[in-house]
Structure formats: C-alpha cells, structure tokens
Amino acid sequence: RKEVEQDPGPFNVPEGATVAFNCTYSNSASQSFFWYRQDCRKEPKLLMSVYSSGNEDGRFTAQLNRASQYISLLIRDSKLSDSATYLCVVTDSWGKLQFGAGTQVVVTP
Amino acid sequence: GAVVSQHPSRVICKSGTSVKIECRSLDFQATTMFWYRQFPKQSLMLMATSNEGSKATYEQGVEKDKFLINHASLTLSTLTVTSAHPEDSSFYICSARVGMNTEAFFGQGTRLTVV
C-alpha cells in the first residue's frame, strides 16, 4: 500500500464551480501536511500547509482529519488558471516527505 | 516563499558523459535537500536525501555511484549523473527546507536528455 494515495482524476470542473478532493495517508504518526500544485513540466509549488483546525486561503480550503487519516482540498469559484495537478505531501515522524501521485484538475470555460 | 534556484534548467548530453546539476537555497539555510526524478505523467520519485556535511541517504534502487550527491554547504547541493545513458533522461528536481517538519521549496527542475 502506498504511503499517500490520491485519486488521479482528472476532475473536470466548469469555471466558477467548486471542486473538492481528498488524500489519504497510511502512517498515523505523520506530522505535517501540505498541498502543492504542479503545472505541466514545471516544479511543484507550495499551495498551502494544512493545519489541524483546517485553514483557508482565499478560494482554497484545506482540512485535516487525523481520525480517518485524510486531508482534503476544496477550491471555490474555480478559475481556468486553477488547472493543474495537486500534490498531497505528508511528512513522517522522521521528517521524510511522502508525496501522493497527484490529482489532476481541469477547469473548463 | 523561499527561493530555491536550480541550474541548468535544460541539458542535452552525449551518452557516457557526466552532468552536474546545482541546487541553491538563495534566502535561507537549508538543513536538508532532496533530489527527485520525475518521468512524464508520473509522480515525483525521491532519489536521495542529503544533510549538510554528511553523506546522502539514497532510496532503494538508486545507485549511489551513478548519482553522486554533494551537500557541502547549507545553501548548495549538487547532483552529478555519471556516465549518463538515454534511460537517465528525465526531469530532475531538487527541494530544500529549513527544519524537519517544515514545507519544502522546489528548484525549477532540470530536464536532462541523454542522446
């Protein structure tokens, strides 16, 4: 079983709509959680950290559910520029980064 | 966010030659740097973790004699692909972070093509 699992998608989202997807992790001792976005043929860029109480950054909301071992990302009012692959990243108790394979989001006009 | 600079962004080399890729943290001291490889439409694959002043820790299946990593300072790590072959052609990305559970910042990546 992979350490971090994501639905690969693609999630096809009309512009202006809301999309949400999850990421599950297997190690209950995981310490920190992040969402990154990666555009085609580019490096990943930090989108947001995920805090225990949940956090919001503009149109993006991240949640952490430790009991069920998943994190989620919700994008409201989707823009064409939100089309990307969203990577879930989890650090284990040794601080090692574990990457999900990514969820592809395609926002359509 | 913090800036990590990676060079070169693109390199084409002949089979059998060696290629060096540099990764620099420009505005922070990186205790740990990571090297990844990504094949088209696949996820990032961690190759090795390096801490300044110590030997890199390689992931299973990654040849340490082929992928030489040097992390001589808190702001610079290098990856040398020795005796490159066409199957080494890939997108190589470095990342750096300050502490154990902090976010990582990525370099721009190096697209290596071995002909």
Per-residue pLDDT of B63-82, as tens digits, reads 999 999 998 888 999 999 99
Would an 8 Å CB–CB cutoff place A84 in contact with chain B? no
Closest CB to A91 among B42, B101, B106 = B101
**Residue B8's pLDDT is what?**
96
The closest alpha carbon to A52, from A66, A39, A41, A40, belongs to A66
Cβ atoms within 10 Å of B66's Cβ, excluding its own = 14
Give the pLDDT score at B1: 65
Nearest-Cα distance to chain B for A45, in Å, is 7
Give the residue on A whose Cα is nearest the Cα of B107: A43
- What phi and psi values does residue A86 have, to the nearest 5 degrees? -105, 120
Q: Give the gap in angstroms from C-alpha A13 to the nearest C-alpha of chain B.
A: 20
DSSP letter (8 states) at residue A59: T
Contact B100 A100 (CB under 8 A): no
The answer to whether A10 touches B75, Cβ cutoff 8 Å, is no
Question: Which residues, other chains included, contact B16 with Cβ-Cβ below 8 Å and sequence gap of 6+?
Answer: B83, B84, B85
Task: Note whether B42 contacts A101, CB cutoff 8 Å.
Answer: yes
Q: What is the DSSP string of chain B?
A: ---EEEE-SEEEE-TT--EEEEEEESSS--SEEEEEEE-TTS--EEEEEEETTSPPEEPTT--TTTEEEEEEETTEEEEEE-S--GGG-EEEEEEEESSTTS--EE---EEEEE-
Q: Where are the alpha helices (DSSP H) in chain A?
A: none
**CB proximity B101 to A under 8 Å:** yes
Q: Tens-of-pLDDT digits for all 109 residues of chain A?
A: 678 999 999 999 999 999 999 999 999 988 899 999 999 889 999 999 998 888 999 999 999 999 999 999 999 999 999 999 999 999 877 778 888 999 999 999 9
B46 touches chain A (CB under 8 A): yes
Closest CA to B88 of B62, B64, B114: B114
Is residue B11 within 8 A of residue B109, CB to CB? The reply is no
Q: What is the pLDDT of residue A31?
A: 86
* Cβ-defined contact of B93 to A42 (cutoff 8 Å): no
The answer to whether residue B109 neighbours chain A at the CB level (below 8 Å) is yes
Q: Which residues of chain B lie closer than 8 angstroms to A95, CB-CB?
A: 32, 99-101
Interatomic CA distance for residues A97 and B81, integer angstroms: 23
B1 and A CB contact within 8 Å = yes
Do A28 and A74 touch, CB atoms closer than 8 A? no
List per-block mean pLDDT (blocks of 10 residues) for chain B, which spans 115 residues.
Answer: 90 97 92 90 88 88 94 91 96 88 88 96
pLDDT attached to residue B104: 86
- What is the three-class DSSP state of A82? helix
Token pair 């949940």 is found at A54
